[in-house]
Each structure stands twice: as structure tokens, then as C-alpha cells.
């Protein structure tokens, strides 16, 4: 019996030591799944601008998406926050020295191409903006890409949601783009198509609001129809909400980008469109790890999964909410 007992202890000791040795052989930062090869986590840097990590339009949702990948051990994340605009270039350079790919938001657009050329072995991604000097630098920058979320796709989805409003309404597309900007025309066209009715002619409201924009509209009149405001960009939502709240009458409803949802406390929301940051992130991390980098401009659209829709249960009846969710057209084609 003693011999068998010793043998049993010996066997268990051998198994435990073997397992420990096997774990030591797995490199740090790697993920291991049975039947799959070891995958090295990508080192990622993220530059946060002077608005801070809680900025709701871009930084906070994008940071959440990065942390999701970090929890899955697909990336190793390094973050640098700039407290002054003069620190932006140094922040990009510092993260470029330590990481395979560096992400940043619109306020870094002035320096991104310059730094990308200084660090050709590091990949760079500018989100929701175009590099300021992209038109003046003739040579391509093969390690840089910039990603835009197409505004017209947001307007198209919002138009569809608004078309289900059960009463007669006036529809206003709110934009910060001047009338000569071609993207504004794309937005207006997409919003009209989303409304799906030749009987509805939406109007465009340019932000900041001009004093004479509503001279002919008496919001306090009992005969005034419901006003539905469609806002595709979250940056100016707080100021816009203050303006809408000051309007006479009570029949004012909102269609907003999802990052502005929590900023509304008194006005009713018909729905919102969410930018899905995990979609481009997954794609970019795969490009870095596989060596299949795609430089230049890329659009996030309805077709490639860049957007989701959220409808408040507090406004829509459950049956109508299900109908809207099941019939929304996520196949907007601006060419048709």
C-alpha cells in the first residue's frame, strides 16, 4: 500500500509540474484556445484629447470598445491623455514608439500625417476626421488610414424611424454643414428617402440657428403640427437641446445619435442611431496581426455593420416597436 501511495503522489506531482512548465512556455500576451494556434495580442495606443476620457461623442464609446478587445486579450492597451492641445504631437510620438498601432480622434488631425511619416513601422488610425494636410502632401502615407462614419446613412435610418410617427408632422434635418457642402446634399437626400413618402417634404435647419429660420413658424399655435428634429452629429447636441427646449409649444420630438441619448432629460426621443466602433476595431486589429494593412480613407456604412438603431420603449407601443425593428432597411444605397 505504501508503494502505491507514493506512486500516486509521484504521478500527481509529475502532472502538476508538467502543466506549470506548459504554462511557462506560453508567451505573455498570447491567447490560447484548444485546436487553435497561439495568437499574439496587438499592442495598441490610444490618444485622448483635452476633452478627457468621459467625452460622450467619440472618446468614451471608443474607449469602451477598446476595453472590450482588451478583456478578450486581443490587444494590450496603452492610453495617453493630453491636457493641452500643445501636447498632441508628443502624445502621438510617445505611443508610436511603444505600440504597433495608434488610434486618435478628430482633434489630432493636424499632426497625424506628420507623425505617421516619422514612424513608418507603426500603424496609425484617425477616427471621424480627415487629416488636415491630406491635400497638401502629395506622397502617400502607407501606414495611415482614417475612418469616417457616413452621415447620410445615419440620416437614412433616422428618416425611416420618423416615418412611423403616428401623427402628421414637420420634419427638420439639423446639420452643421453649409449649403454648398456636398455631404449636406447626401444627408438631405438620404433623410428624404428614409421618410419613404412623396407627401413629406423635410426642411433643413443649419446649426448654429439663424434668427430668421423660424419666423414663419408659430410653435405656440394649436394648429401647428408636431415638429421632429433629426440630428446626425452629437458634438453640438447640448446647445441644440437648449434651443429646442426654449421653443414655445410642446410638440417637439428628437431623433439623435446614440451618444447624445443621456443628455436629454425633458424632450421625447423617437429613436437614435448608434455608431458601432467594435466593427472597424476588429477589422483593423486583424489587419495589423495578419500584415494586410489597408491605407487611406475608409467609410463605416449601414452595409458594413457600422450602425445600430435604438428605440425607446417608453414612446413606442411594443407591437409597433417590433414592427419597426423588423422592417428597417439596413441596405441604403446612395446610388439608387
What's the number of domains the chain is made of? 2
Sorted by sequence, the CB contacts under 8 Å of residue 23 that are 6+ apart come out as none
Residue 109 located in a structural domain: yes
Write out the H or E segment, with its range, that includes residue 86.
none
- The pLDDT, as a whole number, for residue 31 is 43
Domain hosting 167: range is 151-275+306-327
φ, ψ of residue 233 to 5 degrees: the values are: -125, 130
Task: Tell me whether residue 60 is exposed, middle or buried, using C-beta atoms within 10 angstroms of its C-beta: 0 to 12, 13 to 18, 19 or more.
Answer: middle
| DSSP 8-state symbol, 319 | H
Shared domain for 68 and 155, answered yes or no, is no
pLDDT (0 to 100) of residue 50? 95
167 and 122 in a common domain? no
**Residue 203 sits in the same domain as residue 310:** yes
* CATH code for the domain of 111: 3.40.50.2300
For residue 225, what pLDDT is reported? 72
Are 256 and 231 part of one and the same domain?
yes
Contact (Cβ atoms closer than 8 angstroms) between residue 41 and residue 76: yes
Strand partners, 231: 174
Q: Is residue 21 part of a domain?
A: no
Residue-level pLDDT at 223: 55
Residues 317 and 175 occupy one common structural domain: yes
Please tell me whether residues 132 and 159 are part of one structural domain.
no
The three-state DSSP-derived secondary structure of 102-163 is: EEECHHHCCCHHHHHHHCCCCEEEEECCCCCCCCCCCCCCCCEEEEEECHHHHHHHHHHHHH
Looking at 107, 126, 149, the residue that finishes a domain is 149
Please give the pLDDT value at position 66: 95
pLDDT of 122 reads 97
Number of H helices, E strands in the chain: 9, 14
The dihedral region occupied by 291, where left means phi > 0, alpha psi between -120 and 50, and beta the remainder, is left
Digit-by-digit pLDDT tens for the chain (336 residues) are: 444 444 444 555 555 545 544 444 444 444 434 444 446 899 999 999 999 999 888 899 899 999 999 999 999 999 999 999 999 999 999 999 999 999 999 999 999 999 999 999 999 999 988 888 766 554 678 999 999 998 899 999 999 999 999 888 889 999 888 888 888 999 999 999 999 876 788 888 888 876 555 555 555 555 557 889 999 887 778 888 888 888 877 788 999 887 777 777 778 889 989 888 988 999 999 999 999 999 988 999 888 888 988 898 888 999 999 888 888 876 555 554
Does residue 84 sit in the same domain as residue 220?
no
Amino acid at each position: 500500500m505504501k508503494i502505491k501511495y507514493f506512486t500516486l503522489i509521484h504521478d500527481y506531482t509529475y502532472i502538476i509540474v508538467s502543466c506549470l512548465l506548459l504554462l511557462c512556455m506560453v508567451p505573455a500576451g498570447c491567447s490560447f484556445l484548444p485546436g487553435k494556434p497561439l495568437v499574439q495580442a496587438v499592442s495598441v495606443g490610444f490618444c485622448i484629447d483635452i476633452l478627457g476620457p468621459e467625452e460622450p461623442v467619440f472618446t468614451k464609446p471608443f474607449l469602451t470598445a477598446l476595453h472590450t478587445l482588451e478583456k478578450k486579450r486581443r490587444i494590450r492597451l496603452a492610453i495617453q491623455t493630453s491636457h493641452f492641445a500643445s501636447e498632441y504631437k508628443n502624445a502621438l510620438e510617445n505611443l508610436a514608439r511603444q505600440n504597433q498601432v495608434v488610434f486618435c480622434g478628430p482633434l489630432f488631425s493636424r499632426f497625424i500625417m506628420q507623425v505617421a511619416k516619422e514612424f513608418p513601422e507603426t500603424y496609425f488610425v484617425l477616427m471621424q476626421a480627415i487629416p488636415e494636410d491630406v491635400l497638401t502632401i502629395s506622397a502617400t502615407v502607407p501606414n495611415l488610414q482614417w475612418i469616417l462614419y457616413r452621415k447620410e446613412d445615419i440620416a437614412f435610418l433616422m428618416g425611416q424611424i420618423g416615418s412611423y410617427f403616428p401623427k402628421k408632422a414637420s420634419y427638420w434635418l439639423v446639420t452643421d454643414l453649409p449649403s454648398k457642402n456636398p455631404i449636406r446634399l447626401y444627408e438631405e437626400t438620404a433623410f428624404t428617402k428614409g421618410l419613404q413618402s412623396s407627401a413629406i417634404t423635410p426642411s433643413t435647419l443649419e446649426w448654429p440657428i439663424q434668427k430668421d429660420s423660424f419666423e414663419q413658424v408659430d410653435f405656440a399655435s394649436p394648429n401647428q403640427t408636431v415638429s421632429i428634429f433629426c440630428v446626425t452629429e452629437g458634438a453640438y447636441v447640448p446647445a441644440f437641446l437648449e434651443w429646442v427646449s426654449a421653443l414655445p409649444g410642446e410638440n417637439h420630438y428628437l431623433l439623435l445619435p446614440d451618444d447624445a441619448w443621456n443628455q436629454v432629460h425633458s424632450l421625447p426621443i423617437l429613436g437614435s442611431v448608434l455608431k458601432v466602433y467594435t466593427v472597424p476595431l476588429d477589422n483593423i486589429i486583424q489587419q495589423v496581426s495578419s500584415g494586410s494593412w489597408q491605407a487611406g480613407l475608409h467609410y463605416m456604412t449601414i452595409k458594413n455593420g457600422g450602425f445600430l438603431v435604438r428605440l425607446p420603449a417608453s414612446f413606442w407601443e411594443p407591437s409597433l416597436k417590433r414592427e419597426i425593428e423588423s422592417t428597417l432597411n439596413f441596405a441604403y444605397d446612395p446610388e439608387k
